[in-house]
Amino acid sequence: MQSKKERVKIGRERLQRIIEMCKAVEERGLDPFLVNVDEIIKVVREFFPDWEQPEDLCLDAEAINRLASVIKLQSEWVKHRSTTLYTDPFLLEEKIKSLDKEAIVEAFLGAWHPIVELEQISLHSLKEALLYWENLPPLKDRWKEFPSPEEAGGVASPEELLRLKILRDKAFTEELENFWNELKREVAEKGENGKIRYWDFIGAETYEETVYRAFLTSFLVTYGYATLEVYPLEDEIFIKPFEKQQRRTAKKQLVSLPIAITREEWEKWKERVKAK
């Protein structure tokens, strides 16, 4: 024969399990019919007379609340199945796997009606812009408003910079030229049309090394040792080395290109390399 204390303990555990199960169905999108509603109500009813503490009554109420959410999901599931939109995911999955890309695109184009939108300057906006320009104070006047930053800190010794890994043992130019030669070698071995994917070049075993390579690459581009080719639609960036260092011409407008070297991007690149 169970003592009252033991019964309360078992009851609490069973209610906790019910709550967890209902929560899992709700949050992970599992089949709501995995939950046997009658069985749960039986359990809740069985232990209800034993609850005396407010915490236990709250637990009981939460179990009922969670169960109600699952019943709502079951009702939505039935509603969805009765609509014309319902398709057995398994059937659809099989169909998708058996179709070639062209057939899938053909089907999609029959149901796709892309948004039409225009971006065009008008006479009115030109007039507004001219007015704005007339009233805009020159840059030198506007910048006066900002006080120049106070110089802070002292002088760092080369040893300290070496310790912080800002400076390396080798002279920077020498390191940059070695890095340029490495780029040329990589392009010759793995590249196509004299260029290589940006990530395939900067990507390294560790994240820290990858960041350092990206840092050096930015100097290769800025100092005219290489150039970047960006394909925004394909989301791809290539790096192309020059045979000789290019001198900057005053006529040519320089463009800054921010490239995020995040840990996630690096992990994705590692996975891609592994998959290859």
Partner 1 sequence: MSKRKAIYASKIKRAVHMLFYRRHAKPGVKGWELRKTLGADYPKVLSILDEYLKPLDLQVKMAFEEEKPHSEKPTPEELDKARFYITLRGDLTPKEAKMIGWRIDDLAGLAITIAYIISKKGKAPRKEVEELLREKLPGWKASLNIDRYIRYGYLSQDENEQLYLDWRTRAEVDQKALIELLLSK
Residue ranges binding partner 1 (CB under 8 A): 27-29, 76-77, 80, 84-89, 91-93, 95-97, 99, 101-120, 233-235, 268, 271-272, 275
CB of 21 to partner 1, least distance (A): 17
Token pair, residue 56, equals 């236990």
CB of 135 to partner 1, least distance (A): 24
Q: Which is nearer to partner 1, 106 or 208 (CB)?
A: 106
Q: Which is nearer to partner 1, 233 or 250 (CB)?
A: 233
CB of 237 to partner 1, least distance (A): 13
Q: Which is nearer to partner 1, 1 or 275 (CB)?
A: 275
Contact 183, 241 (CB under 8 A): yes
CB of 273 to partner 1, least distance (A): 9
Q: Which amino acid is at 172?
A: F
Distance CA 182, CA 203 (A): 13
Distance CA 237, CA 254 (A): 17
> Over the range 199-223, which residues count as b (16 or more CB within 10 Å of their CB) and which as e?
bbbbbbeebeebebbbebbebbeee
Chain-centroid distance of CA 166 in Å reads 29
Q: Which amino acid is at 212?
A: Y
Q: Which is nearer to partner 1, 244 or 276 (CB)?
A: 276
Q: Which is nearer to partner 1, 34 or 188 (CB)?
A: 34
Radius of gyration (C-alpha) of the chain in whole angstroms:
33
CB of 276 to partner 1, least distance (A): 8
